[in-house]
Amino acid sequence: MSNLDRVLATLRQRLGPGGVTEDPAIIAPRLREWRDRFHGRAPAWIRPASTDELAEVLGICHEAQVPVVPQGGNTGLCGGAIPDDSGRQLLLGLDRMNRVLEVDADGGSLTVEAGCVLARVQAAAREAGRLFALSLASEGSAQIGGCVSTNAGGTNVLRYGTAREQVLGLEVVLADGRVLDLLRSLRKDTAGYDLKQWFIGAEGTLGVISKVCARLHPLPGPLETAVVGLRDPATALALLGVLRDALGNALSAFELFPRQGLELVLDYRPAARDPLGRPQPWYVLLEAESPRVHAEDGVLSGVLAAAMERGLVADAALARSLGEARGFWALRDELSAAQKHAGPSIKHDIAVPLSAMGQFIEEATALAGRLIPGCRVLAFGHVGDGNVHFNVGCPPGLSPPVFLARWDEVAEAVHDLAIAHGGTPSAEHGIGQLKVGELARLRGGTELELMRGLKRMLDPRGILNPGKLFGA
pLDDT given at position 297? 54
What is the CATH classification number for the domain harbouring 354?
A: 3.30.70.2740
Q: Does residue 203 share a domain with residue 104? A: yes
pLDDT tens column, 393-409: 999 999 999 999 999 99
Q: Does residue 393 share a domain with residue 301? A: no
The domain of 179 spans 100-218
* pLDDT at residue 442 greater than cutoff 90: no
- Residue 110: inside a domain, yes or no? yes
Q: Does residue 348 share a domain with residue 303? A: no
pLDDT tens column, 412-438: 999 999 999 999 999 888 899 989 888
Q: Does residue 423 share a domain with residue 379? A: yes
CB neighbour list of residue 270: distance below 8 Å, 6 or more residues apart: none
* pLDDT at residue 213 greater than cutoff 70: yes
d(CA 427, CA 249): 22
Give me the chain's average pLDDT, please: 93
- Residue 264: inside a domain, yes or no? yes
Q: Does residue 265 share a domain with residue 229? A: yes
Domain count for the chain, please give it. Answer: 3
User: b/e string for 243-260 if b means 16 or more Cβ within 10 A?
Assistant: beebbeebbbbbbbbbeb
Q: What is the pTM of this model?
A: 0.91
pLDDT given at position 293? 43
d(CA 426, CA 439): 9
Q: 453 or 439: whose pLDDT is higher?
A: 453
Least confidently predicted of 19-28, 208-217, 286-295, 453-462: 286-295
Give the bridge partners for 346, in sequence order.
392
Q: Does residue 276 share a domain with residue 186? A: no
What is the CATH classification number for the domain harbouring 269?
A: 3.30.70.2190
The pairing of strands 315-318 and 376-380 is unpaired
- Residue 272: inside a domain, yes or no? yes
pLDDT tens column, 347-397: 999 999 999 999 999 999 999 999 999 999 999 999 889 999 999 999 999
pLDDT given at position 132? 97
pLDDT tens column, 194-206: 999 999 999 999 9
pLDDT tens column, 252-278: 999 999 999 999 999 999 889 999 989
Taking 3-state DSSP, the helix, strand and coil percentages for the chain, each rounded to the nearest 5, stand at 40, 20, 40
What is the CATH classification number for the domain harbouring 127?
A: 3.30.465.10
* pLDDT at residue 154 greater than cutoff 90: no
